[in-house]
Amino acid sequence: MTWLIYAQLGAWGYFLYGFGPVVPMLRDEDHVSSAVAGLHSTAFAVGSLIGGALAPAVLRRFGRGRSMWASLAGVVAGVVAFALVRGLAFTLPLAMVIMAFGVIMITGVVASLNEQHGTAGSAAITEANAVCTAAGLVAPFVLGATVGAGFGWRPGLLTLVALVGVLALVAFFFRVRLPAGTVAPSRPSGERRPLGRAYRLAWSMMAITGSVEAGLSLWAVDLLREHNGMSSGTAAQAISAVVAGMFLGRWAGARLALRLPAIPFYFGALSVSAAGFLLFWSTPVAAPAIVGLFVLGLGNAMHYPIAIALALRAAPDQPDRAAAVSSYSMAVSFGVGPLALGAAADLLGVRGAFLIVPVLLVAAAACAWRLRVSMTRASAPVPVAAEVLAVS
Euclidean distance between the first and final Cα of the chain, in Å? 23
Q: Does 175 score more than 80 pLDDT? A: yes
Q: Please state which CATH number belongs to domain 2-177+195-389.
A: 1.20.1250.20
Least confident of 124-128, 162-166, 337-341: 337-341
Distance CA 354, CA 320 (A): 35
Amino acid identity, residue 258?
L
pLDDT band at 186 (very low <50, low <70, confident <90, very high): very low
Confidence band for 389, pLDDT divided at 50, 70 and 90: very low
How many angstroms separate the Cα of 362 from the Cα of each of 62, 271, 292, 378? 41, 10, 19, 25
Separation of alpha carbons 389 and 392, rounded Å: 9
Residue 388 has pLDDT above 80, yes or no: no
Please determine, for residue 338, whether its predicted confidence score (pLDDT) is greater than 80: no
- pLDDT tops 60 at residue 183: no
pLDDT band at 185 (very low <50, low <70, confident <90, very high): low
Check whether 19 has a pLDDT greater than 80: yes
Give the integer Cα–Cα distance in Å for 243 and 140.
11
> Helix 240-256 vs helix 197-228: angle between axes, to the nearest 10 degrees?
150
Is a pLDDT exceeding 60 seen at residue 391? no
Residues 362-383 have a mean pLDDT of 78
Average confidence (pLDDT) over 231-236? 69
Tell me which residue of 261, 274, 264 sits closest to 300, measured CA to CA.
Answer: 274
- List Cβ neighbours of 35 (8 Å cut-off, separation of 6 or more): 342
Confidence of residue 390 (pLDDT cuts 50, 70, 90): very low
Round to whole Å and give the CA distance between 228 and 218: 17
Residue 230 confidence (pLDDT): 83
Identify how many contiguous H helices and E strands the chain contains and give both numbers.
17, 0
Q: Which of 269, 276, 267 is nearest to 354 (CA)?
A: 276
Percent over 70 (pLDDT), the chain: 88
Categorize the per-residue pLDDT at 288 as very low, low, confident or very high, splitting at 50, 70 and 90: very high
pLDDT of 125: 79
Q: State the Cα angle at 383 between 382 and 384, rounded to 5°.
A: 115
pLDDT-derived band at 146 (thresholds 50, 70, 90) equals confident
Say how many C-beta atoms besides its own lie within 10 A of residue 229's C-beta: 12
Query: What residues contact residue 137 under an 8 Å CB cut-off, 6+ apart?
Result: 17, 240, 243, 244, 247
d(CA 4, CA 103): 17
Give pLDDT tens digits for 76-105.
Answer: 999 999 999 998 899 999 999 999 999 999
How far apart (Å, rounded) are the C-alpha atoms in residues 287 and 299? 19
In this predicted model, what pLDDT tens digit does every residue of 198-226 receive, in sequence order? 899 999 999 999 989 877 876 787 788 88
Residue type, 55: A
Averaged confidence pLDDT in the chain: 83
Q: Taking the C-alpha atoms of 360, 361, 362 and 368 in order, what is their torsion angle to the nearest 10 degrees?
A: 110
Among the listed residues 367, 379, 246, the one whose alpha carbon sits nearest the alpha carbon of residue 311: 367
pLDDT at 233: 62
> What string of DSSP letters covers 321-389?
HHHHHHHHHHHHHHHHHHHHHHHHHHHHHHHHHTTHHHHHHHHHHHHHHHHHHHHHHHS----HHHHHH
Which residue ranges make up each domain of the chain?
A: 2-177+195-389
Asked whether residue 381 carries a pLDDT value surpassing 60, the answer given is: no
Query: What mean pLDDT do residues 36-57 have?
Result: 84
CA proximity to 84, closest of 169, 24, 161: 161
Identify the residue with better confidence: 31 or 11.
11
Cα(96)–Cα(119) distance, integer angstroms: 35
